[in-house]
Amino acid sequence: MQAAPGRTPSIDAFTETLPTMTLALTIEILATLAGLIYIIFMIRENIICWPFGIIGSLLSVYLFLDARLYSESVLYVFYAVMGLWGWLRWHRREEQADNPVIRWALRAHLRSIAVAVLLAMGLGFTTSAFTDAQRPFFDATTTVFSFLATYLQIAKVLETWIYWFLINLATIWLYHDRDLDIYAVLIGIYSVLSVVGFVRWRQSYRAQSATA
């Protein structure tokens, strides 16, 4: 097919992909902003975090499908659903003035980690065998452990921030590898905020214990 006068095939290809690039970039920026607002309010134990988390998660699903990170897409659908549950649970507990930061015993963590490893292996094998997923086992591991960390966050378990710190460090490389550089920077910020969240929630836990 002959190119239009004054234009080259490479320019035509660039202009055809530009709207898609702009849409993906816009969605990535909006999802990033929603995610930052979510984590800041989560650290402050403010229930307003949940609607921002839901919005950011729904925007993210499109991006990860486009990047062929299918486990991550499943993860962000899960985030949206869990965000709704977290919103309702925190609202109910706050009405009862009973939404404290708690801690899990080591045995509970070890049991949860063992189950998460088995689930990650199963998900990795499934996506490797039946899809064109990129980095299926790495993606599956970060996905399953994020499921666990999200549950701990909703239940306000202090150690959730340790899980998130480790997951975020691993996820930075995964997102950079799939050219989701804005998300990689966001997750880097999340890693720092995970430390802040742990310190802030530990202060709340100690204050609650002293009051009790």
Share of the chain above pLDDT 90, in %: 50
* Phi, psi for 102 (deg, rounded to 5): -125, 175
How sure is the predictor about 100, in pLDDT bands with cuts at 50, 70 and 90? very high
Residue 192: HSE in the Cβ half-sphere, 13 Å Cα cutoff: 7
| C-alpha torsion 22→183→71→49, nearest 10 | -110
What local confidence, expressed as pLDDT, does residue 10 receive? 46
Share of the chain above pLDDT 70, in %: 88
Paired tokens of 69:
């990170």
- For the segment 120-137, what is each residue's pLDDT rounded down to a tens digit? 999 888 888 877 766 788
Q: Tell whether the model's pLDDT for residue 12 goes beyond 80.
A: no
Average pLDDT, the chain: 85
Q: Tell whether the model's pLDDT for residue 21 goes beyond 70.
A: no
Q: Tell whether the model's pLDDT for residue 140 goes beyond 50.
A: yes
**HEC states along the chain?**
CCCCCCCCHHHHHHHHHHHHHHHHHHHHHHHHHHHHHHHHHHHCCCCCHHHHHHHHHHHHHHHHHHCCCHHHHHHHHHHHHHHHHHHHHHHHHHHCCCCCCECCCHHHHHHHHHHHHHHHHHHHHHHHHHCCCCCHHHHHHHHHHHHHHHHHHHCCECCHHHHHHHHHHHHHHHHHHCCCHHHHHHHHHHHHHHHHHHHHHHHHHHHHHHHC
What local confidence, expressed as pLDDT, does residue 15 receive? 43
What local confidence, expressed as pLDDT, does residue 9 receive? 44
How sure is the predictor about 199, in pLDDT bands with cuts at 50, 70 and 90? very high
Domain boundaries along the sequence of the chain: 17-211
What local confidence, expressed as pLDDT, does residue 7 receive? 40
Average pLDDT (168-178) is 81
pTM for the full model? 0.80
Average pLDDT (95-119) is 95
